[in-house]
Amino acid sequence: MDLRRVLAPKEEIPAGLRLALGALTGISFLALWSWLTYGGLVRPDFLAPPHEVLTAALRGLERGTLLRHIQASLLVILSGFALASVIAVPLGILMGSFQVVAAVLEPITGFMRYLPVSALIPLLILWVGIGIEEKIAVIFLGTFFQQLVLISDVSARVSKDLIDCSYTLGASRGQVVTRVLFPACLPGVMDNLRVTMGWAWTYLVVAELVAANSGLGYMILNAMRGLFTDVILLGIFVIGLLGLLTDQIFKWIRRWLVPWSPAF
């Protein structure tokens, strides 16, 4: 193995090396964590040692509470995300290719994109209450406007020649939209849905900040009151793992849905 090649930009590295480096990161992380906790450098109510997090996990699984929290969070995330996607995908595609739609929507999206979702929570509570609707609404608002902007970008990048070519093949405007514009956007849409799915997870704790009695975010916030750092860490790990899992699922869906477009 030539070290100079491995350390050159944009060069492929062997699969074995890639795995080894990944494993090394994981092991180093665990080692650092163990050293800090078992070595007594950090107090356990600041940072729980690994085995306590593991027992917290087993305890949660045994009592069924962990699964309940996971279910509750998944329901919130998936509903909010699905709702946002169902509206944002078609609207974004139209926005990127029809200047009329863009002109109507741009003032709102431009404004909403930069608003922290947490700033809207008081209003959301007033409008939809403190039930699951409010939590779904937080995820919705956190992803919808980002999706709209990203997908409108995808749509705007569809080549004009491709559209013009469809006209010369006899396509009507409606056919151009449904048979050319939509499929042409599909790979970009899938990529951006995957990215925004990741962002949806990052809004989970914010969503469960108010009046929740289940969910991973709630679990973390509740543990904070009793300084149960083991449960806090457990919540963080579970969110990370679920995020990773959904990301992988999106990769699979993309490969299955758009086999003709190489993923990156």
Partner 1 sequence: MGGGKLVVDRVRMAFARRRGEPVVALEEISLTVAEEEFVAIVGPSGCGKSTLLRLVAGLMEPTSGRMLLDGREIRGPSADRGMVFQSYTLFPWLTVQRNVEFGLSLRGVPAAERRAIARRFIAEVGLEGFEDAYPEQLSGGMRQRTALARALANDPEILLMDEPFGALDSQTRQLMQELLLGIWEHAHKTVLFITHDIDEAILLADRVLVMTARPGRIKKELVIELPRPRDISLLTSPAFMAYKREVLELLHGEALRAERGASEVGAGG
- Is residue 258 at the binding interface for partner 1, with CB under 8 A as the rule? yes
- Of residues 162, 211, 224, 241, which one binds partner 1 by CB under 8 A? 162
Q: How far is the CB of 161 from partner 1 (least distance, A)?
A: 5
d(CA 30, CA 38): 11
- What is the residue type of 110? G
What does 213-225 look like in DSSP terms, one character per residue?
SSSHHHHHHHHHH
d(CA 106, CA 127): 25
Q: How far is the CB of 189 from partner 1 (least distance, A)?
A: 12
- Is residue 262 at the binding interface for partner 1, with CB under 8 A as the rule? yes
* Between 132 and 189, CB nearer to partner 1: 189
* Between 49 and 187, CB nearer to partner 1: 187
| Three-class DSSP category at 143 | helix
d(CA 263, CA 188): 10
Q: How far is the CB of 180 from partner 1 (least distance, A)?
A: 7
Residue 179 has what DSSP assignment? I
Region of residue 172 (left: phi > 0; alpha: psi -120 to 50; beta: else) = beta
> Long-range CB contacts (< 8 A, 24+ apart) of 21-27?
none
* Between 171 and 227, CB nearer to partner 1: 171
Q: How far is the CB of 168 from partner 1 (least distance, A)?
A: 4
Which is it for the CA torsion 217, 220, 222, 225, positive or negative? negative
Q: How far is the CB of 175 from partner 1 (least distance, A)?
A: 6
Task: Supply the Cα-derived Rg of the chain in whole angstroms.
Answer: 23
What percent of the residues of the chain are helix, what percent strand, and what percent coil, each to the nearest 5?
Answer: 80, 0, 20
Region of residue 212 (left: phi > 0; alpha: psi -120 to 50; beta: else) = beta
* Between 131 and 183, CB nearer to partner 1: 183
* Between 53 and 93, CB nearer to partner 1: 93
Site string for partner 1, 164-203 (x = CB under 8 A): xxxxxxxx---x---xx--xx-x-----------------
- Is residue 161 at the binding interface for partner 1, with CB under 8 A as the rule? yes
- Of residues 114, 126, 159, 252, which one binds partner 1 by CB under 8 A? 159
What residue has token string 């951006």?
192
* Between 20 and 162, CB nearer to partner 1: 162
Q: How far is the CB of 184 from partner 1 (least distance, A)?
A: 7
Q: How far is the CB of 160 from partner 1 (least distance, A)?
A: 9
- Is residue 261 at the binding interface for partner 1, with CB under 8 A as the rule? yes
List residues binding partner 1 (CB under 8 A). Answer: 159, 161-162, 164-171, 175, 179-180, 183-184, 186, 258, 260-262
